[in-house]
Amino acid sequence: MKKILLYLVTLVIVAACSSTDDPAPVTVGTIDLITKNATPGDIVVAKAATKPAITSSSSIKVGELNVQVFAGDSNQVLFIMPVVASGKVTVDYSGIGINKQLEFTVSAYTPITNPIAVANTFTTELDAVATKLEAYVSDPVIKLNPAYIEVLNEHNKAVKENFSKLTAEEQLKMAYMLRSVMLDNKDFALDAPNPGHFRTSSADDVSDEMYKLGLSFVKSMIVGAVTLGLGSQLATLPSPLLYDKVAAGALSAVSIGFFVKAHTEAQRIGGMKGIAENILASFSDNREGAISTESTGAAGDIEFNKGKVKTVTLSGDFRTLNQTDYSSSVGFINNTLKYISKLQDSYNSLVSIANKIKSWFFGIGPELPLYANPVKAQSAKKELPLPASDKVGIKSISDASIQLKMTPKTAGKFDIVATSTSTSLQDKPFSFDIVYTDKNLSIVQTKKITATYKPIQPNAVSIADGNNQTVEAGKALPKPLKVKVVDADGQIMKDIEVLWSIKSGNGTLSAAKSVSDAQGIAQVTWTMNQNPSGDQKVEAIVKKGDGTLVSGAPIEFSAVGSIQGIWVATKINGVAMGNWGSDGYRNNSFKLTLESQKGSWVANYSYRNDDGSIGTGNATRQITSYQQVGQMLHMTDSYGQSATYLISNRTATTMKLTLSSGDVDVMEDEVFEFVKQ
């Protein structure tokens, strides 16, 4: 219906057969227009303060024209807008005992020059609607009784066969009405059925479909009520003219179309399982029972590993409407069922009109089938997946440090990721609510879940940097000691505590514990004692939440004091300086100078000549490069000769060098004991 949709918002249901030939008491009161503007042929609705005096011969004036008026429900007054020029026109209601003249707007319109063409279009559109309704007959849910289509076709036939019998003036008048109430067959296309939800075009959200269908149903009822109400008025006229009969047939045909559509939508609503009664939750193989507000399961049954996706399957028991819902406080349900209850009245009016049309034009013909209430006494139920939408969420997490992020995947499937602001590695029992909220149907269902939050455990620790450094006594190592912590997947771990301790030696650490950063690195600074003693070693350990050590722990760092400086020999090859050795030499002095990466040594010695005299000599050598690695000293002299000496007996002021490999000529001797100058 094209024109009536323009003022749908203001219309209310018009009851059938509310006029009577017995005159009502004449009243004087006020009246207000519900329809604010119209074009010729439109149905104009007004509402009086009290019941107006309307009979089958009552009329009002629209401009200078006398127009028949009809009584509607709830003090409503209806008339069909006559053919008048667009613009302002006065509607005078004094003819029904109300001394009121209202200004009305006749909207711009295209004048009809060929009434027969309009009538043909109207009847052709009704034929198309009948064809569309054929699909309702074979639909497995609707199962429309074909008698409705037969009656519609019969009323359409009355229009086809009798329109040409009207006078030219009547044809023009009716053409405007037919254009106003003309159906659009596209509005009667049938959605494909979905057996899973009984009927719905949305496989993911049956409650949304119920809501949309309810709005469409109410709209169909409101639109159809206008033509049904006026058709009923015409059918009850005591001495109807041919014009009245044809008009009643046309309005009845339109009303049948809308009744079938409305009743079909009501059937679909009545059979649609869209009201959620509880939530069912399944985590892997653990099933949470169908209890809407109670906690089930023990903590630990469901485990959330930090940062890992856990998929939950959510469904619910959904039911259909039942007759106890007529007293529902939910606005949508109450309003929908209010209009469903009016279907019976609409049906009764259709039966009355159909019988009149049949008696006027055909004598015999098809009968409308018996009315069936689309809302059953008891609800049917079915488990359906919860929709993958923002209707499903998480609330009331018992531990404030735990965050849960829910992401919908497909209908009934949701990914949940748990994180925590806590750095503790201990498992945490907690609970939370899965909440299903349907604002349209005023439904909130809650499912409490008990679970355990499991932090990701460190799996291994390794040295990242800082081992085997060389440092001067009393100073900090050039680089901090660093370890790297990873999980079982080899991913770096942040906020993991590392414990540090001096295993041997007498150095100091900047902290007894440190925490890994975003790169998984934890570090401390190590400072040598002013007088280092013993081996210098530091230990680092990482523990899991249960107290066991991770792989690689404990980790050991070593360091040695730098030998940079001036060293004076006290013994060479075990012989004290100034004493004669078995080889006939006496080492008087030997001074080793080690600078940064290079050095030198100077020696003074004595020897016995064959004649018994004692001679002296001096020797010097440039050390072009040296490198101290742990307890080994690698040296290269200016002649290109290399040697490696083992460092032992190392203190802040003493050390011993013993040739390990290489050319003895680099230092001229094999074993040296030094004191630092």
Q: Beta 303-305 vs 443-454: how paired, if at all?
A: parallel
Question: For 389-440, how does the pLDDT look when each residue is reduced to its tens digit (9 = 90+)?
Answer: 999 999 999 999 999 999 999 889 999 999 999 999 999 999 999 999 999 9
The whole-chain average pLDDT of the chain stands at 88
Residues 6+ apart with CB under 8 A from 88: 103, 104, 105, 106
476, burial (CB in 10 Å: exposed 0-12, middle 13-18, buried 19+):
middle
pLDDT given at position 295: 36
Write the CB contacts of 214 (distance below 8 Å, at least 6 apart in sequence): 265, 269, 332, 335, 336
Digit-coded pLDDT (tens) for 472-523: 888 999 999 999 999 999 999 999 999 999 999 889 999 999 999 999 999 9
pLDDT for residue 290 is more than 70: no
Q: Mean pLDDT, to the nearest integer, of 528-532?
A: 83
| DSSP type of residue 583 | T
Buried b (16+ CB within 10 A) or exposed e, 131-158: ebbeebeebeebebeeebbebbbbbbbb
Lowest mean pLDDT among 21-25, 44-48, 493-497, 659-663: 21-25
CB distance 412 to 386 below 8 Å: yes
CA distance 145 to 163: 29
Across the strands, what pairs with 564? none
What stretch of H or E contains 162?
A: helix 147-162
Asked if the bond preceding 429 is cis, omega within 30° of 0, the reply is no
- Tokens representing 59 are 């009329």
Nearest CA to 252 among 359, 170, 164? 359
Helices first, then strands: H and E counts in the chain: 6, 40
430/418 Cα distance (integer angstroms): 12
Q: Coil, strand, or helix at residue 147?
A: helix
Q: So what's the pLDDT on residue 283?
A: 84
Name the CA dihedral angle for 470, 473, 474, 480, rounded to a multiple of 10 degrees: 10
In the numeric block, which tokens belong to residue 544?
């899991």
pLDDT for the residue 132: 93
HSE-up (13 A, CA, CB side) for residue 389:
15
pLDDT at position 192 is 56
pTM score of the predicted model: 0.67
Top-confidence residue, 4 or 350: 350
Nearest to 445 by CA among 323, 317, 336: 317
Residue 557's closest CA among 535, 588, 580, 583?
Answer: 535
pLDDT of residue 633 exceeding 50? yes
> Residue 270 pLDDT > 50, yes or no?
yes
> How far are the Cα atoms of 90, 243, 654 from residue 83, in angstroms, in the given order?
14, 16, 125
Is the model's pLDDT at 166 over the cut of 60? yes
Q: Which residues contact 640 (CB under 8 A, 6 or more apart)?
A: none
Q: Could you give the percent of the chain with pLDDT greater than 70?
A: 91
Tell me which DSSP letter residue 441 carries.
T
What is the set of domains in the chain, with CATH numbers?
Answer: 4-106 (2.60.40.10), 460-561 (2.60.40.10), 565-676 (2.40.128)
Query: 79 is written with which tokens?
Result: 């008339």
pLDDT tops 90 at residue 191? no
CB-based burial label for 251 (10 Å; 0-12, 13-18, 19+): buried
Q: Region 634-647: what's the mean pLDDT? A: 96
